[in-house]
Structures are given as C-alpha cells and as structure tokens.
Amino acid sequence: MAENTKQKVKGRFAPTPSGRMHLGNLMCALLAWLSAKSQGGSMVLRIEDLDRERSLEKYRTLLIEDLDWLGLSFEEGPGENGPCAPYDQSRRYPIYEQDYRRLLPRIYPCFCSRAALHAASAPHLSDGRVLYSGVCRTLTEQQRKERMRLRAPAYRIAVEDTVIGFTDGVQGWYQASLAQECGDFIVRRADGVLAYQLAVVLDDARMGITQVVRGRDLLSSTPQQIWLYQLLGFSVPEFYHIPLLTDPEGKRLSKRDLDLDLGILRQTYRPQQLTGMLGYLCGQLPMPQPITPAELAQRFDWAKVPRQDIALPRSLLSDLSKL
C-alpha cells in the first residue's frame, strides 16, 4: 500500500474517573501514546463515565492533570475538544441510540437475577466466568410482558454460533467460540446504562480509532467486541493487550493500592523519572533513566514489550515507603 493512502494511526486512552490513576493506568496510557506517536499517529482521551455513581468530577480533573504532568498530550478529547465530540461517554447517549437500534433484532430482555445467573448449575468457564444459558431468549411476548411488570430487565444480544479469532499485537493469536465461551452478553443494564462491551465498540468505531491498547484482562472479551464491529459494519482496529503490573509477589495492583496512585508518585518522582521507570519495566530501556515520553517514542518497539505480567521491583516500593 502506498504511504499516502495508508490509514492514519489513531490511538486512545479511555480511563474511568472512579479514583486517582495508579501506576498501572499510567503504564497503559503511556504505551498507547508511545504506540500511536511512534507511528506518526494521534491520540484521543475519552472519559468512560457511563457509571455515573462511580464517576466523580474531581477524579476526571485529576486524571487530566496527571496525564499532562507526565507529558502526554492528546489531539482529541476530553469534553468537546475535537471532531468526534463529545468525548465523555455519559454525554454520548444520543449517538449510541442510532447504533443500538440497528442491533434490536438480536436484542432480548433478560429477567434472570444475579443469584440465578451464578447458580451452581450454571455452566462455568475455565476462567471462572459464568456462561449464560440463554433461558430468556425463548420467552414469549406474553411472558415478557408479565415479567416486565415485576422487574426491569437487562438486555442481552443473541450471539451467533461462530468462532472469532484475531492476532493480538502483544499476546499473539487468540480465538473464542461465541456460543460456547461468551454466550449471549448484556448490552444494556437493568438501570438503563449501556454495557461497557457495547459502548467501547461504538465509541472506538465512531471515533475512528485504529488501535486499542489496554490491559490483558480484557483479552477474553475481545472476540465478542470484534463480532459487534462486524455486525455493525465497522472496520476492526488492531488490539494490543498489555501485561498487568503486579506487586513483587505477583498480586495484581488495584485502585485500592493507594501508595501507588499518582498523588503519592508525584511527590517522589519527576515526570521524566517515572517515564524512565515505566519505559524500563516495558522493555524499552536497559535500565531506568530519566526520559520524556516524546524521546521514548523515538525508540518505541512493541516487540520488546513483555507478554507476561510485570512485577514491580522492591526498590520502587521502598523508595515510596520512605515518604
């Protein structure tokens, strides 16, 4: 393909403002940014605030500040900044509705309680997820009407019996049977909130995202998302599922690990030190050394990013404990 007809790379970082960013979130933002920038592309900052109860304005403000502090700039988003505005999910409902309507022939209400879904008799997958039995798919209109009076349903999409595979930029080939490993999945929750699985596809497609960089924990939900892309006639982006950060014992970090949130990290490190630390952990530098994201982008190479989860060195944690 000639260079001038090649699609321009557009990446994105899409955090949920439900807490201060931690080191793992920052690593994801940095890798997405480095990938796009090293290929001459642009970046979108999208705020995933569909869950209004968990999302707080103060965290939205802080995450924008923290990204800016590290030196990550975004060509589009958040808020109204760019041609695909708004970039905050809570304000995109009118846009979602158009695509949601196109899926309606496959969507049905599910009245199952949480307890029923997780009953011991439900088929469990090897990773602990529960496969939905499809029991509500065959309810008659009359049965649906009766149950509607008792409880607000969630809405599921009926999947096809097909296998979806793709080559992940970090993890390699991955495939799953939609019917046997995903099952009919929820596209709208009982409280009316659009499910993450659907919103993320609609946003990435409508914002013209060409590469998605996110945590390895989302790898198993990618086949169903690719299927949604195909169903709606969207072109499928490239996926890069990156390793997760763990503590030195291999336990995954979470937002509860407050000692690694940006509020604390910013008291100890300068942005270039933190970038160098992350660059080292991601295989881009032989040892931690101060560097800017723009400098790191010049030498960025996906082939050097490890597939396996990354354990934080004890020295990093002991630096922080001296505070």
Closest distance to Zn ion from the beta carbon of 110 (Å): 3
Distance separating alpha carbons of residues 117 and 131, to the nearest angstrom = 8
Nearer to Zn ion, 44 or 136 (CB): 136
Distance separating alpha carbons of residues 211 and 316, to the nearest angstrom = 31
Closest distance to Zn ion from the beta carbon of 127 (Å): 21
Nearer to Zn ion, 111 or 239 (CB): 111
Nearer to Zn ion, 104 or 130 (CB): 130
* Number of amino acids touching Zn ion (CB under 5 A): 3
Nearer to Zn ion, 54 or 151 (CB): 151
Nearer to Zn ion, 67 or 136 (CB): 136
- Give the residue among 191, 233, 206 at the shortest CA–CA distance from 51: 191
The strand ranges marked E within 111-266 are 154-157, 163-168, 172-177, 185-188, 211-215, 238-242, 245-246
Q: Which stretch of DSSP H or E encloses residue 315?
A: helix 314-321
Which 113-142 residues touch Zn ion, going by CB under 5 A?
Answer: 136
- Give the residue among 303, 302, 165 at the shortest CA–CA distance from 236: 165
Closest distance to Zn ion from the beta carbon of 142 (Å): 16
Kindly indicate which of the ranges 75-83, 86-94, 103-111, 234-242 contains the residues binding Zn ion, using the contact rule CB under 5 A.
103-111
Q: Which of 9, 30, 110, 278 touches Zn ion by CB under 5 A? A: 110
- Give the residue among 7, 14, 11 at the shortest CA–CA distance from 36: 11
Closest distance to Zn ion from the beta carbon of 149 (Å): 16
Does 265 engage in binding with Zn ion (CB under 5 A)? Answer: no
Secondary structure of the chain: what % helix, strand, coil (to 5)?
Answer: 45, 15, 40
Kindly indicate which of the ranges 2-10, 94-102, 106-114, 291-299 contains the residues binding Zn ion, using the contact rule CB under 5 A.
106-114
- Give the residue among 22, 28, 15, 82 at the shortest CA–CA distance from 55: 15
C-alpha distances (whole Å) from 12 to each of 36, 209, 210, 304 are 8, 7, 9, 21
Backbone angles phi, psi at 73, to 5 degrees: -105, 155
Kindly indicate which of the ranges 39-47, 107-115, 255-263, 311-319 contains the residues binding Zn ion, using the contact rule CB under 5 A.
107-115
Given a contact cutoff of 8 angstroms between Cβ atoms, the answer to whether 238 and 37 are in contact is: no
Does 112 engage in binding with Zn ion (CB under 5 A)? Answer: yes
Closest distance to Zn ion from the beta carbon of 185 (Å): 12
Closest distance to Zn ion from the beta carbon of 7 (Å): 40
Closest distance to Zn ion from the beta carbon of 51 (Å): 22
Nearer to Zn ion, 45 or 110 (CB): 110
Any alpha helices (H) in 165-270, and if so which ranges?
196-206, 222-232, 262-268
Does 187 engage in binding with Zn ion (CB under 5 A)? Answer: no
Closest distance to Zn ion from the beta carbon of 136 (Å): 3
Kindly indicate which of the ranges 104-112, 144-152, 168-176, 251-259 contains the residues binding Zn ion, using the contact rule CB under 5 A.
104-112
* CB atoms near residue 247 (< 10 Å): 14
Residues at the interface with Zn ion (CB under 5 A)? 110, 112, 136
